[in-house]
Structure 1
Amino acid sequence: MSGPAVHLYRFEGDWRASGHTLLVLLSRYVPSEPDEIRLRRTDKGKPYVEDSDIFFNLSHTVNLTVVAIAQGVEVGVDVEAMEARVDPLAIASRFFHPAERAALAALESAAQLDLFFRIWVRKEAFVKGVGGGLSMGLDKFRVYPDCAGIEPWSIADIEVGSGYAAALAVKEPRFEIQWRQFGCGRI
């Protein structure tokens, strides 16, 4: 193995059920029943499992939820439905690093949209992993074409289906992704 294992779960359906599903998934990693697992929040608001070295993160968008779970290493995950109604250049001018803005501006509109979402989910996954929130200055670090200012974190694009962009951030230079996919009611 080239680093710690990060287990990814992808499921479709109503995101409001994801809270219970998360507890069921976490019960596979901690010696507790789902209703016995105690979730707490850091001072920055990032959730964690009390008295455990299990780290997790959850993201949901239109009809899709992705959960990342790892032992002993912090993780962040983000998934977004790629909607054409966003203005990539306007949002990038506020939140993207100058190198990312330049790369985006050099593309035609369809390619711009794809790259915009790829950069956005990478930034969100990192911010969620760190627990910093959007106020941490998304334009101060770079996730495209390479990463700068996020060390010791690393980021990977993850494929979750057509029409979606998703990324995983891990506080390790190398890691192994292990997918665990299931549908509604099949955990």
Structure 2
Amino acid sequence: MMSRSSNPPSVSTTFPSLGPSDVHVWFCDLPRYADDHSALAALLSGDEQTRAARFAFDRDRQRYILSHALLRLLLSRYTHTMAAQIRFSTGRHGKPAISGTSAATEDIQFSLSHSGPYALVAVAKGRALGADVEVLKADADALKLAQRFFAPGESALITTCEGEARRHMFYRFWTAKEAYLKGKGVGLSLGLDRFEVLFEGDSSLARIRWTDSGAFDPGWHIRSLSLLDHLAGAVAVQGEAWDLHQLESTAYSLY
């Protein structure tokens, strides 16, 4: 598990390179950027600022602004583009992508997720991916939710757990399924019970199996992430032979 340090981490000015087999997953602790809120808000597009203004609560508005500004800052380092100049387009079900076909941007794929005061940004080159992070909610009825939305095999596994173990198991499946749907770019239109996440024993690796046919989706693999104790996270990546690199945004100079 990642742990917070009471001392400021050393900041690297050397940004990690992204190879064809690399998957970078950035963990962002949003409150650490609160002092730079105004400068970061200025990086957002007009549409993003309009969307931010619709939030009823200042806390949610600030989290939206910080997470989307950090996404821009990270993507600017990969694409060698000014953060404020990055433009996005959306697919049929709302999956975002970088607009433009320059050599620096055409192969960069990304996924943003945020929950509470945290965000994840996953980035890869030439392969689709999706990421999800969730703060574990103490009042979540894990078994009831699993029986309503999950595949039968997943619900059965959650039933065998009790207390905290059940809650962690539920969110392990939930984030894996959300990451897969985001990576495919289909949203919840597919249905969470249409496919089953099969973890390989006690490992963090998982595959996808369709509940109707029993066939596996050979093009996608999932990895649960090691985060803070009260968080669950996962990344779903298209293709074989990729290497996961978990990174913390505060360890690098982004602006």
Q: Does TM, scored on the shorter chain, surpass 0.5?
A: yes
- Structure 2, unmatched stretches of 5+, are 1-19, 32-62, 200-205, 211-216
RMSD: 1.8
The normalised TM-score by structure 1 is: 0.92
- Separation of aligned partners in 2, 1:73 and 1:160: 24
Please give the alpha-carbon distance, in whole angstroms, between the structure 1 residues aligned to 2:87 and 2:197: 33
Report the Cα distance in structure 2 between the residues aligned to 1:13 and 1:42, rounded to whole angstroms: 27
Alpha-carbon deviation of 1:12? 0.7
Higher RCO (CA < 8 A, seq sep 6+): 1
CA offsets per residue over residues 57-93 of structure 1, 9 Å max, x none? 0111111111001110011000001112011111111
**Whole-Å separation in 2 of the counterparts to 1:127 and 1:45:** 11
1:4 match: 21
The superposition leaves residues 90-120 of structure 1 with CA deviations (integer Å, 9 ceiling, x where unpaired) of: 1111211111111111222321111000000
Greater shift in the superposed pair: 144-153 or 25-34: 144-153
Match in the other structure for 1:86? 140
Q: Which has the larger radius of gyration?
A: 2
User: C-alpha distance in 2, partners of 1:77/1:134?
Assistant: 14
What is the 5 A alignment of 1:8-157? 8-14=25-31, 15-16=63-64, 17-50=66-99, 51=101, 52-145=106-199, 146-147=206-207, 148-149=209-210, 150-157=217-224
What residue is the counterpart of 1:163 in the other structure? Answer: 230
2:117 & 2:27 partners in 1: Cα distance? Answer: 11
Tell me which stretches of 4 or more aligned residues in structure 1 moved more than 6 Å: none
Opposite residue 119 of structure 1, the aligned amino acid is F
Deviation at 1:154, TM superposition (A): 0.3
**Are 1:13 and 1:64, in contact at CA under 8 Å, matched by a contact in 2?**
yes
- Alpha-carbon distance in structure 2 between the residues aligned to 1:21 and 1:81: 19
Q: How many residues align?
A: 185
Deviation digits for residues 117-153 of structure 1, max 9, x if unmatched? 0000000000111111112111111113453134311
Residue identity matched to 1:134: L
Q: Contact 1:12–1:184 (CA<8 Å) still a contact in 2?
A: no
Q: Name the SS of the counterpart of 1:55 in structure 2.
A: strand
Q: 2:180 corresponds to which letter in structure 1? A: F
Distance apart, 1:183 and its partner CA: 2.5
- 2:126 maps to a residue whose letter is G
Q: 2:247 is matched with which residue?
A: 180
Question: Which SS does the other structure have where 1:144 is aligned?
Answer: strand
3-state SS of paired residue (2:196): coil
**Partners of 1:53 and 1:43 in 2: CA distance:** 20
